[in-house]
Each structure stands twice: as C-alpha cells, then as structure tokens.
Structure 1
Amino acid sequence: MNTILGQSKTPWHLWVVGIVSLLWNLGGVVSYTLTELGQLGDMGFSPEELEYFYSFPTWAVAVWALGVWGCFFGSAALLLRSKWAVWLFGISIVGLVGTTAYQRIASTLPESMQTTGQDLFAALIWIITIGLFFYASRMKRAGVLS
C-alpha cells in the first residue's frame, strides 16, 4: 500500500465520485437557495407548486437544509480527503429522512407532483445519498480519508 504521511494513496475513483457528487449536490444547493430566496417563480412551477414549496414549516426547511448542505459539504470533504465526509453524509441522511417524512406523511403534495417520475427521482436521491455515505465509510476504513 502506497502511503503519504500515513494516508493511503488517493484512488482515481475518489476524484470521480467527489467531483460528480459535488456537481450533483450543487443542484440541490441551487434548488434550496432559490426556494429560500423566493426565486422559483421564473422556473416554470405552477402557482400550486410554488405555494407548496413556500409553505414548508420551519422544521421541514431545517431538515431540508441538513440534507442539502450535508451532502454538498460531504462531497467537498471527500475531495479534501477528510474523515468528516462520513459524518456529513450521515447528517444528510438524517435530513433526507426528515424531508421525506414531511413530503410523504405530514403534507399533501400537489397533484402535479404525484408522478412516477417524481417518485423515481426521490428514489434516486435516496440511492445516491446512501451510496455516498457507504463510499465515504469505505474510503475512511481504507485509510484514504483522515
């Protein structure tokens, strides 16, 4: 095993996963930020959809922030080879659980958002978020993250 100052050599796939996940999570950051700034009006959402997004209770906004920012900073930490990536991706899972609970249990999605495509996109978010957590955990165990 090649080591530099006690760390394993950075595998090529860490850079690919880190960069792709950072770009993917940037989409979530933009969505969250535009929503919180009240700037979704020009993005093609219906008035019903805009009302839904803008009416999130404080706790739902807070867990959404945990999910979005945890995953974004987790990707950045992965690129920096920081062990904090595992914690940040874990925090993002907590946020995702809370956001999903709000969207699927505590609120009523607008009919236009109750589609198979929306369900598949939600499943993809879960798969990617959990995958990033396990990937970072594996890289930490391998000594790549410190």
Structure 2
Amino acid sequence: METKTPLWFWILSIIFLLWNLIGIGSFVAQVLMTPEALEALPKAERELYDSYPSWTYIVYFIAVFAGFLGSLGLLLKKRWARTLFLVSLLAVLIQMGHSLFVANALEVYGNEALILPVIVTIISIMLLWFANFCAKKPWYN
C-alpha cells in the first residue's frame, strides 16, 4: 500500500522553492549591479560593496544555489536535499557573519542590517529541519 504525499508538503516545498528563486534573483542583481547603479548609492554603501572580497560572492552563490537545488530535491523527494540545505545553511552563516561582523554592515545600515540575515538564517534552519522531518516519513520515499 502506497502512502499518499500530503498536500501541505507540496505547498511548503513550492513556497521554499520560490523563496530560493528570490535568493537567486537577489544574488544576480547584486553581481550584475552596473557601475552607474553602484555610483547612485550613498558613499557608505558604495564603500561597503567595495569592501567585500570576491570569496564572499562565491559563498553567496553557494548559499542560494544549494538552497535552490535542495528545494528541487525536496520536491523530487530526494534524501540529498538535506545535504544541500546543510551546505546552504553553512554558506549563509559564513556570508552573513562576514557581512555583519567583518564588513561592518551594521555601521552602514544600523540595526536594520540584522533583519534580513536573521530571516534568511531562520528560514535556512527551517529548510534543513523540514527536509530531515520529511525524510523520515513513509510518503517521502
């Protein structure tokens, strides 16, 4: 007897996929920012962008694309989705830690600089938890 996959799994998995697509969009927008758009930023923000070493963009890439691929794996009910969500979470922690504590985004944006990193980190933790939770269900196989 085959156990039916619950509707809430599909709904949440699609929401998580859309969330990760937003992350990819954000990454692409930042990487492809034109010199004119960068010049239009306030001086402190321009200096902040200029201070990021290239490895932070690699970590950002890993965070968003591992999350996206993990979401695809979740929809396909693959156990490797958990590994990708773990990789994404670790990359998020490195990226956000650098931004907040090394690049000093808090000095540029104030306490508002905490909002998005906290949300992204919480959702990354939720994705990993959800993938682990689902992997234990008979309908996930």
Give the TM-score, by structure 2 length: 0.83
Structure holding more helix per residue: 2
Partner Cα distance (2:43, 2:138) in 1: 50
Question: Is the 8 Å Cα contact of residues 19 and 79 (structure 1) preserved in structure 2?
Answer: yes
What is the percentage of aligned positions where both structures have the same residue? 27
Give the TM-score, by structure 1 length: 0.81
Question: Is the 8 Å Cα contact of residues 93 and 121 (structure 2) preserved in structure 1?
Answer: no
Partner of 2:60: 64
**Of residues 110, 115, 122 in structure 2, which corresponds to 1:114?**
110
Partner Cα distance (2:29, 2:68) in 1: 16
Greater shift after overlay, 118-127 or 33-42? 33-42
Partner Cα distance (2:89, 2:99) in 1: 15
Moved over 3 A (4+): 44-48, 143-146
Give the aligned residue type for 2:14: I
Partner of 1:128: 123
Question: Is the 8 Å Cα contact of residues 35 and 54 (structure 1) preserved in structure 2?
Answer: no
Root-mean-square deviation over aligned CA pairs: 2.3
1:1-146 correspondence to structure 2 within 5 Å: 2-3=1-2, 8-39=3-34, 41=37, 45-109=41-105, 111-115=107-111, 117-146=112-141
Aligned pair count?
139
Q: How many Å apart are 1:70 and its aligned residue?
A: 1.1
Question: Is the 8 Å Cα contact of residues 100 and 113 (structure 2) preserved in structure 1?
Answer: no
Unmatched tracts of structure 2, length 5 or more = none
Give the aligned residue type for 2:52: F
Unmatched tracts of structure 1, length 5 or more = none
Partner Cα distance (1:144, 1:50) in 2: 49
